[in-house]
Amino acid sequence: MFTAAAAAILITMFLALIRLFAGPTLYDRVLAVNSFGTKTVLLIGVMGFLSERPEFLDIALLYALINFITTIAILKFFRYRALGDAPDRKHRTDAWKRLSIS
Amino acid sequence: METALDILSWVLLLGGGAFVIIGGVGLLRLPDFYTRLHAAGMTDTLGAGLIILGMMVEGGLSLVTVKLVLLGALIFLTSPTATHAIANAAFTAGLEPWTGDDGAAADQGEASSSKA
């Protein structure tokens, strides 16, 4: 029964990969990466049960945390073009001036 | 008793797998970014929840189930938050929702992607 669930998750990961390459906007890609990450967490858990080693769940927990932080970090970077404190309009740092496009 | 638990876990895992596939098809096939966001975000929570519940039934009362509860709580908290953050970022950047007025839905995102 875990085989069926793993197959379903793998098919969905493939569909998410197609959306990731097709785009067309940045946000479609971020959404596809986020969805792919959630499916990876599930797949690691299911594979742990399939191979009778449920200790894999520790890795799945870590991956769930990293996946969330990755999504937020990508969104923040493409909005502010910097990963430190959110830049203040009045007190722009030199680094932010260099990175900023607009 | 053992068989009943196995059947319950089988149903939960199959249901979760079905929801996950439906979400994947929606992510690929729907016409516009916000509709795709809806498909992926909604089914993520339900499909992942059902699969984790199925694994919990299989795990029984042990440390495995404790870890699965943690994983489920984490996904339940972070998945809607991430979906909301993506939707908010797209809307703030000026990506217009598709209203169905014009026939050209597929390349609707191309025009506003340069603003991102």
Rounded to 5°, the CA angle B69-B83-A33 comes to 90
**All structural domains of chain A with their residue ranges:** 2-101
Averages of pLDDT over runs of 10 residues in chain B (116 residues) are 86 92 90 89 88 89 89 91 90 80 52 44
Q: What is the pLDDT of residue B115?
A: 41
Q: Residue A15's closest CA among B109, B26, B107, B44?
A: B26
Name the phi and psi angles at A63, rounded to 5. -65, -35
**Which residues from chain A sit within 8 angstroms of residue B27, using beta carbons?**
15-16, 19, 31-32, 35
Please report the ipTM that was assigned to this predicted complex.
Answer: 0.79
* Pairwise CB contact (< 8 Å): B116 & A26: yes
* CB nearest B44 (choices: A4, A38, A58): A38
* Pairwise CB contact (< 8 Å): A1 & B9: yes
